[in-house]
Structure 1
Amino acid sequence: METFTFAPPYELPSWPFVPPPELQSTSAGRHPIVIVGAGPAGLTLACDLASRGVRAVLLDEDDTVGVRGASSRGICYAQKSLEIFARLGIYERIAEKGITWSFGRTFSGDTEVYNFNLKTDSVSVQPPFINLQQFYIEWFLVDRIHELGLTDLRWKNRVTQVTPLADGVRLTVETPAGSYNIEADHLIDATGANSPIRTQLGIEAHPSRSTDRWCITDVRFKKPLPVERWTWVDAPFNEGRAVWQHLMGDGVWRIDYQMPEDCDTAYISKPEVAGARLREQLGPGVEFEFVWIGPYGYRDHLLDNFRHGRILFIGDSAHVVSPFGARGGNSGIQDAANLGWKLALVTQGLADDVLLDTYDAERRPAAAENLRVTSRSARFLAPRSPAEHTMRRAVVALAQRYPFARALVNTGRMSVANDYPAAAHLPAGAKTVQNLPLRWRDGTPTTIAQLLAEGTQCLGLWFAPTRAQASTATDLDASLPLRLVAVGGESGLPALQPDDVLARHLDNPAPGTLCIVRPDAYRGALLNDPTPASIAAALRTALAHR
């Protein structure tokens, strides 16, 4: 029997436990924002707040990133998440370490059914996807949080009790040096799918668990494979079941094999069994070493409300979806970006607390859409009836010849930035504004993300305003969080060069039109004939002012 080798284990960073000041006090310390959970969502939120000059306490029961054993877990980071990381200052590290890709192939048996290139619809500086092991993302976020210096990041601090108060939340925290109490104006639960806070408060998550089983095989090959996403609907080398193949950082490939529903998870994870699968796929002459092997089954859940008084839920504590299309971790990162600027404005006294209700109004529909999309992928990949099997065979056969059928082949609809539905604060709904490259009038380069990184304020892109129009801006309420920038024209405002791509991206606004872009790079309003009164009204609506 062939002997398979493992690469040396990753050496993950660890950070020391520092006794918090509350251990020396008989009274609970009070903080505006406490975040529990240092995963991607919690760390993104803490980093986002720090970038806006807002202090927070972040509690985590561990002292490192990732999980013990350094499995790959989340690996695909979508363009919207990468744009958020660009604004937060860690994108360059991610791009340098990760694998940029946009091209994918889908196979049925030995036949390529279709391929796609996600770059064709993108105008962003960031690519459609970068693959990188999740622990690197968390590592980079921790480093950036330390650089910004405003977050009290407390390792080995486990929350054991949460008590809602009339004006906040009280937490009991256990540490290696004893327990203490802490109070928060707002508590953010980012503790993940098995949230102890959600469980303690008795909040129903409506979970469901799939019988579908998979085995992750992280492996490094001596000879590189093509840097493309390959998926098989029914791989002949995996007994007619699905397979995913992705390259990650450090030359490590992640290959996910769909397993029988009644499989023995310990058996399928044995090196000799995983090695036999790889040999069946790649042949006897391919040289490789294992990095990590592990089984998984998936489940989903969705809270009825993401806000419960002074407690808000983000990431997996609020919603879990099947892992098809990278819609889980990316959604949590985007939850954090949606909530960060709203918490900042409320904490700084620039918006009413009701603005936090819009977090639920926007991100819960996004999670529901991701749940709907991933559930369809799960049914396609694991048909539950003879009729579903027949339908899948027909779709795959037609897709080889007819373009209309290719859209029906569903190995996971890749994560996109969710649109937000119409609401009182968003009368027309909202779509994301991609991170376009732009230039100031003098030729200095900038981007949408850079423009939004300079303070917590909306960005008013005013297309070719006249000097008379721009002069009325002096009558705007100075307390409104808005930065006006002209796009072309001779208005006297700070001006960007005219840009046809930007104009098309924003639906070709006529001269004089003002597009208000929110701090999370979503379109807040489009004003065709802006006046100080209409601009102020649009901002107050977007900020949910009563």
Structure 2
Amino acid sequence: MESFAFAPAYELPAWPFVPPPELGHAKIVRHPIVIVGAGPSGLTLACDLAQRGGRAVLLDEDDTVGVRGASSRGICYAQKSLEIFERLGIYERIAAKGITWSLGRTFSGEQEVYSFNLQAESVSRQPPFINLQQFYIEWFLVERILELGLTDVRWKSRVTRVEPLSDGVRIDIETPAGNYTIEADRLIDATGANSPIRTQLGIDAHASRSTDRWCISDVRFKKPLPTERWTWVDAPFNEGRGVWQHLMADGVWRIDYQMPEDCDTAHISRPEVAGARLREQLGPGVEFEFVWIGPYGYRDHLLDSFRHGRVFFIGDAAHVVSPFGARGGNSGIQDAANLGWKLALVVQGQANDALLDSYDAERQPAAKENLKVTSRSARFLAPRSPAEHTLRRAVVALAARHPFARALVNTGRMSVANDYPPAPQLPEGARTVQNLPLRWADGRETTLMQLLAEGTQCLGLWLAPTRAEARTAMDATAALPLRLLAIGGDSGLPALQADETLVRHLGLRDAGSFVLVRPDAYRAAPLPRATPDAIATALRTALALDHHAP
């Protein structure tokens, strides 16, 4: 039997445990924000708050990133997440280290039945996708958080108990140096799919009954393969089940093999078994070495509400979806970006606490949509009834000959930024705004994310207002977190060039039309003909400043 070589293990960074100041003191200290869990969503939130000048305590059980042994987790980061990372100051590191791609191919057997190129639909400075091992994302976020210097990162700190209070949360913490208790005005649970906080509070996650099983093989080849996402609906080299093939950083390919639900996870992960699968796929002459092999299984779940009093759930603690289309980790990162600016403004006294209710009102429907989309992909890849098997066979057969059927080949609808439904703070609903390259009137370059990185404020983008309108609007919004910018014209406001792509993307039409861009780069309050009073009212609505508690 052939033996297979393993590459040297990754050397992950480790940070020291520092005894917290509360240890050994009877008085319980209160912090404005405590985040539990240093995965992608928790780290993104901590970094987002620090970028806005906000302080937080971040607790994590470990002292490193990823999982010891460098197991393969999230790898595919979508454009919206990459735009968030530009605002947070780590995008250039991600782009330099990761693999940029936009082309995907889907096969049935050896026949290509569907392909896509997402670049054609983009106006963003960021590409549709970058593949990068999750621990690198976490690594870059930790270093950026430490650079910003406002987050108290506490490693080797395990939360053993939470107690909701009328005005906050009490948290018991276990460390190598002893146990202590703190309080938080608001607690954010980013502890992942098996959240102990959620379990302790008795919150039902509505987990699915069946478990989808996969075996991941991270492989480095001597001869490079094309930098494309390849998927097989019914790979002949995997007993007619699905296979994914992605390139990551360091020349490592992640190949996911779908397994039977009742498989022996230890057996399918043995090097000789995983190696035999690769030989079946690639043939005897392809030289490779393993980086990591391991089983993967998931049950999807979705909380009824992402806010429970002073406790907020983000990322996998709030929702788990199947990995098809990279909608899991990206959604958690976008949870953090949605919540971060709202927490910052509420803590600073610039927005009403009711604004925090909009986190659930926006992100829960987004998670529900992602769950619906990925569940359809899961059923296509693993049909559970004769009718579903018949449908898939028909779709695959038709796709080989007819263009209309190719869009029905569902190996994962790739992650996109979710629109938000109408709500008290969003009477018109909201949709994302891409990170457009922009120019100031004098020709200097900037981007939307660079504008949003400068403080926590909404952008008021106004097409060619008059000088009188601009002066009155400045007065009407002087006490509000708003940066008014003109697009073209001679209003006396800081002005961007009236680029056709920008105007069309924002939905602006005639002179005087206006749109509010929130700190998370979502478009709200489109005004066909803006007045200073209408702008002030739209902003106060967006920040829940006129909310009256029942």
Q: TM-score, with normalisation over the residues of structure 2? A: 0.98
In structure 2, the partner of 1:425 is 425
Amino acid at match of 1:358: S
Using the TM superposition, give the Cα deviation of residue 278 of structure 1 relative to its aligned residue in structure 2, in angstroms.
0.6
Query: Using the alignment, how far apart are the partners of 2:402 and 2:525 within structure 1?
Result: 40
Query: Using the alignment, how far apart are the partners of 2:309 and 2:88 within structure 1?
Result: 28
Query: Using the alignment, how far apart are the partners of 1:474 and 1:306 within structure 2?
Result: 36
In structure 1, the partner of 2:392 is 392
In structure 1, the partner of 2:256 is 256
Conserved 8 A contact 1:315-1:331: yes
Q: Which segment drifts farther, 294-303 or 220-229?
A: 294-303
Q: Which segment drifts farther, 205-214 or 37-46?
A: 205-214
Conserved 8 A contact 1:50-1:150: yes
In structure 2, the partner of 1:416 is 416
| In the alignment, structure 1 residue 448 sits paired with structure 2 residue 448 | yes
Query: Using the alignment, how far apart are the partners of 2:199 and 2:163 within structure 1?
Result: 13
In structure 2, the partner of 1:52 is 52
Amino acid at match of 1:518: R
In structure 2, the partner of 1:67 is 67
1:301-339 Cα deviation digits (max 9, x unpaired): 111110010100000101111111100000000000000
| In the alignment, structure 1 residue 383 sits paired with structure 2 residue 390 | no
Amino acid at match of 1:542: A
Amino acid at match of 1:171: I
Using the TM superposition, give the Cα deviation of residue 530 of structure 1 relative to its aligned residue in structure 2, in angstroms.
1.8
Using the TM superposition, give the Cα deviation of residue 388 of structure 1 relative to its aligned residue in structure 2, in angstroms.
0.8
Aligned to 1:540, the other structure's residue is in SS state: helix
In structure 2, the partner of 1:494 is 494
In structure 2, the partner of 1:364 is 364
Using the TM superposition, give the Cα deviation of residue 28 of structure 1 relative to its aligned residue in structure 2, in angstroms.
1.1
Query: Using the alignment, how far apart are the partners of 1:338 and 1:509 within structure 2?
Result: 28
Conserved 8 A contact 1:103-1:117: yes
Amino acid at match of 1:189: D
Conserved 8 A contact 1:205-1:302: yes
Q: Which segment drifts farther, 465-474 or 487-496?
A: 465-474
Query: Using the alignment, how far apart are the partners of 2:381 and 2:477 within structure 1?
Result: 55
1:466-489 Cα deviation digits (max 9, x unpaired): 222212223213221100111111
Aligned to 2:296, the other structure's residue is in SS state: strand
Query: Using the alignment, how far apart are the partners of 2:169 and 2:283 within structure 1?
Result: 58
Query: Using the alignment, how far apart are the partners of 2:40 and 2:209 within structure 1?
Result: 23
Amino acid at match of 1:323: P
In structure 1, the partner of 2:265 is 265
Aligned to 2:372, the other structure's residue is in SS state: helix
Query: Using the alignment, how far apart are the partners of 1:403 and 1:32 within structure 2?
Result: 55
Aligned to 1:22, the other structure's residue is in SS state: coil
Q: How does 1:51-200 map to 2 (within 5 A)?
A: 51-200=51-200
In structure 2, the partner of 1:321 is 321
Amino acid at match of 1:134: Q
In structure 2, the partner of 1:518 is 518
1:278-303 Cα deviation digits (max 9, x unpaired): 11111111110000001112211111
In structure 2, the partner of 1:544 is 544
In structure 2, the partner of 1:306 is 306
1:65-110 Cα deviation digits (max 9, x unpaired): 0011101200000000000000000000000000000001000011
In structure 1, the partner of 2:35 is 35
Using the TM superposition, give the Cα deviation of residue 2 of structure 1 relative to its aligned residue in structure 2, in angstroms.
1.1
Identity of aligned residues (%): 81
Query: Using the alignment, how far apart are the partners of 1:171 and 1:261 within structure 2?
Result: 38
Amino acid at match of 2:339: L
Q: Which segment drifts farther, 449-458 or 400-409?
A: 400-409
1:180-227 Cα deviation digits (max 9, x unpaired): 110100000000111111111111111114343210000000100000
Using the TM superposition, give the Cα deviation of residue 532 of structure 1 relative to its aligned residue in structure 2, in angstroms.
2.0
Query: Using the alignment, how far apart are the partners of 1:18 and 1:297 within structure 2?
Result: 35
Q: Which runs of 5+ in 2 are unaligned?
A: none
Query: Using the alignment, how far apart are the partners of 1:524 and 1:295 within structure 2?
Result: 43
Query: Using the alignment, how far apart are the partners of 1:474 and 1:112 within structure 2?
Result: 57
In structure 1, the partner of 2:342 is 342
Aligned to 1:41, the other structure's residue is in SS state: helix
Conserved 8 A contact 1:210-1:297: no
Conserved 8 A contact 2:473-2:535: no
Q: Which segment drifts farther, 357-366 or 522-531?
A: 522-531
Amino acid at match of 2:322: S
Amino acid at match of 1:125: R
Query: Using the alignment, how far apart are the partners of 1:137 and 1:271 within structure 2?
Result: 28
Aligned to 1:192, the other structure's residue is in SS state: coil
Using the TM superposition, give the Cα deviation of residue 408 of structure 1 relative to its aligned residue in structure 2, in angstroms.
0.9
Conserved 8 A contact 1:245-1:255: yes
| In the alignment, structure 1 residue 279 sits paired with structure 2 residue 257 | no
Aligned to 2:332, the other structure's residue is in SS state: helix
| In the alignment, structure 1 residue 14 sits paired with structure 2 residue 11 | no
Aligned to 1:210, the other structure's residue is in SS state: coil
Conserved 8 A contact 1:23-1:180: yes
Amino acid at match of 1:507: G
Aligned to 1:24, the other structure's residue is in SS state: coil
Conserved 8 A contact 1:209-1:298: no
In structure 2, the partner of 1:401 is 401
Give RMSD over aligned pairs.
0.9
Aligned to 1:498, the other structure's residue is in SS state: coil
1:474-532 Cα deviation digits (max 9, x unpaired): 32132211001111111111011111111111224211111110000000111122222
| In the alignment, structure 1 residue 226 sits paired with structure 2 residue 226 | yes
Q: Which segment drifts farther, 254-263 or 280-289?
A: 254-263
Count of residue pairs the alignment pairs up: 546
Conserved 8 A contact 2:170-2:181: yes
Conserved 8 A contact 1:40-1:138: yes
Query: Using the alignment, how far apart are the partners of 2:202 and 2:532 within structure 1?
Result: 47
Query: Using the alignment, how far apart are the partners of 1:427 and 1:237 within structure 2?
Result: 52
In structure 2, the partner of 1:459 is 459
Query: Using the alignment, how far apart are the partners of 2:521 and 2:125 within structure 1?
Result: 14
Distance 1:413 1:27, change over 3 A: same
In structure 2, the partner of 1:290 is 290
Aligned to 1:289, the other structure's residue is in SS state: strand
Q: TM-score, with normalisation over the residues of structure 1? A: 0.99
Using the TM superposition, give the Cα deviation of residue 239 of structure 1 relative to its aligned residue in structure 2, in angstroms.
1.2
1:222-280 Cα deviation digits (max 9, x unpaired): 10000000000011111111100000010000000111222211111011111111111
Amino acid at match of 1:335: D
Query: Using the alignment, how far apart are the partners of 1:360 and 1:297 within structure 2?
Result: 27
Q: Which segment drifts farther, 208-217 or 75-84?
A: 208-217
Conserved 8 A contact 1:158-1:175: yes
Query: Using the alignment, how far apart are the partners of 1:300 and 1:155 within structure 2?
Result: 29
Q: Which runs of 5+ in 1 are unaligned?
A: none
Using the TM superposition, give the Cα deviation of residue 533 of structure 1 relative to its aligned residue in structure 2, in angstroms.
1.3
Using the TM superposition, give the Cα deviation of residue 359 of structure 1 relative to its aligned residue in structure 2, in angstroms.
0.1
In structure 2, the partner of 1:439 is 439
